[in-house]
Amino acid sequence: MRFLAVNKNVKANIYGQDYRLKPLDPRTENLEDILATDDFSASELFARHRDILRVVNFDSTKLKGFPRIINNLSDLQRGGTILIMRNGAIGDHVLFLPVLRTFKKLFPPDSVIWLSTQKEKHPIFYNNDNINKLYPMPLRLDTLLKADYLIDFSGRDDQYEFTHLHLTDYFLNYLQIDYKKIKNKNPAMKWDQSRSPIIGNLFQDVRRLNPNKPLILLNWKASSPLRNLPPEKLLFLVRRFQDILFVIAQPEEFAEDTEKIVEKYGNNIFDCSSDMTSLEDYIAAIANCDAVVSTDTATGHLAEALGKPSLTIFGPISDDLRIRYYNKAYAIRAEYSGKTCRSPCGLGKSDKGCAESHLLGSPYSPCLLSIPEEKIYQRFKEFRDDALRNSQGNSRRKIGVMDVT
């Protein structure tokens, strides 16, 4: 955990949360102006705003009221307010959902669970029965001091376990919970369709105009360039399956480029990219589809949490580390052996990129490019049956809160 403060009055939006901050004044002990955050985001923020931010160094264990740090489930001898601080990408947060469910069952029954994470990722945890309160990250120090216990997943360097364990198992193992004995590790979200009424109305109109077509979302972009696909790697399906309406929902900032990409693929495409202004909108789009086809990114994780079938194309990362505990996930694995690597190479995010792609002069990971179109086509044909069954269920489902347990 790291602590940050400002050197002048600042109004800022950090990961979707608005803050008004003042420089520290020892005469007033303005603890609300000290921000507590995980090591990774602290380094990122400090690198971007070195002229404004300063690191605050102090022995937190000697600060009156600082919560007890929990590294083992046995450290929780009695209930109280347990603050969990967890930074991460969208998919990481989805894989954290079954962890919260397990914590709720194993923590003392009178425990109160707070979760602090980036405000822009909060929609993943809306209506979650396993947490009592949702806070932004960074968290103001005066709020942190109201907790009795603290679980900070950036507090230890478990890099080997982080890269070799399924992420859900890693989080459980962090508190020395025997993850092999936890039976249900499937993520589940309760999604309230009323949170994105514009998206809901759009899809209602689309279904009304296309009553016999399942809606399948296609996504070729990932949070890491290592897992990006060329658009045509998926869009060829549009021409080969005229009985399906394919949904494109790229982030709003890519809407103009996306429109140019998809315009040549025919009229069985519903491109709602210009309406994707937030994570809420994107979750709503997936919730209103029957299935998704995607590269290895958050799309497949969100689909599973919403009870939607997903077909995901895996290259650098093993599908077993991503979807081992999923019920509705299908995988296509790259089978590539090059001069510098063999898939899956395990490379997640890297500033240097993929060495093999540099060698071949390609902007994409060669392992993903190596997957034949026919292999994707045949796997999609198998997957389509599940999507069709989901489509029939959606046609009877009322708009409201989706409770996927």
Judgement on whether residues 43 and 173 belong to the same structural domain of the protein: no
Judgement on whether residues 74 and 122 belong to the same structural domain of the protein: yes
Compute the distance between CA of residue 320 and CA of residue 73 in angstroms, rounded to an integer.
27
Judgement on whether residues 103 and 209 belong to the same structural domain of the protein: no
Compute the distance between CA of residue 95 and CA of residue 305 in angstroms, rounded to an integer.
9
Which residue pairs, CB below 8 angstroms and at least 24 apart, start in 15-24?
Answer: 15/41, 15/118, 15/119, 15/120, 15/121, 15/136, 15/137, 15/138, 16/118, 16/119, 16/120, 16/121, 16/122, 16/136, 17/118, 17/119, 17/136, 19/138, 24/56
Q: What does DSSP say about strands 81-85 and 149-152: parallel, antiparallel, or unpaired? A: parallel
Q: What is the pLDDT of residue 62?
A: 79
Residues 6+ apart with CB under 8 A from 296: 222, 227, 312, 313, 314, 315, 316, 317, 319, 322
* Average pLDDT over the chain, rounded to an integer: 91
State the residue for tokens 């900032």.
253
User: Does the residue 96 lie in any domain?
Assistant: yes
Q: What is the pLDDT of residue 387?
A: 74
Q: Which amino acid is at 252?
A: E
Compute the distance between CA of residue 122 and CA of residue 112 in angstroms, rounded to an integer.
18
Judgement on whether residues 221 and 157 belong to the same structural domain of the protein: no
User: Does the residue 48 lie in any domain?
Assistant: yes
CATH code: domain of residue 194: 3.40.50.2000
User: Does the residue 301 lie in any domain?
Assistant: yes
For residue 196, the tally of other CB atoms under 10 A from its CB is 25
Confidence of residue 222 (pLDDT cuts 50, 70, 90): very high
Q: What does DSSP say about strands 139-140 and 149-152: parallel, antiparallel, or unpaired? A: unpaired
Q: What is the pLDDT of residue 402?
A: 41
Q: Is 270 helix (H, G, I), strand (E, B) or coil?
A: strand
Which domain-ending residue is among 163, 181, 199? 181
Judgement on whether residues 214 and 358 belong to the same structural domain of the protein: yes
Q: Which domain holds residue 333?
A: 190-403
Which domain-ending residue is among 27, 58, 89? 58
Query: Greater confidence, 189 or 160?
Result: 189
pLDDT tens-digit map of 244-274:
999 999 999 999 999 999 999 988 999 999 9
User: Does the residue 339 lie in any domain?
Assistant: yes
User: Does the residue 63 lie in any domain?
Assistant: no
How many structural domains compose the chain? 3
Confidence of residue 393 (pLDDT cuts 50, 70, 90): low
For the entire predicted model, the pTM comes to 0.92
115: phi then psi, degrees, rounded to nearest 5: -120, 130
pLDDT tens-digit map of 309-325:
999 999 999 999 899 99
Nearest alpha carbon to residue 282 among 259, 308, 256: 308
Q: Which amino acid is at 141?
A: L
Confidence of residue 133 (pLDDT cuts 50, 70, 90): very high
Burial of 337 (0-12, 13-18, 19+ CB in 10 A): exposed
Residue 38 has pLDDT above 60, yes or no: yes
Judgement on whether residues 160 and 207 belong to the same structural domain of the protein: no
Judgement on whether residues 223 and 155 belong to the same structural domain of the protein: no
Q: Is 99 helix (H, G, I), strand (E, B) or coil?
A: helix
Judgement on whether residues 278 and 399 belong to the same structural domain of the protein: yes
Judgement on whether residues 126 and 8 belong to the same structural domain of the protein: no
Judgement on whether residues 225 and 319 belong to the same structural domain of the protein: yes
Judgement on whether residues 348 and 251 belong to the same structural domain of the protein: yes
User: Does the residue 121 lie in any domain?
Assistant: yes
Judgement on whether residues 73 and 38 belong to the same structural domain of the protein: no
Residues 6+ apart with CB under 8 A from 342: 336
Which domain-ending residue is among 162, 181, 200? 181
CATH code: domain of residue 145: 3.40.50
User: Does the residue 318 lie in any domain?
Assistant: yes
Residues 187-211 have a mean pLDDT of 94
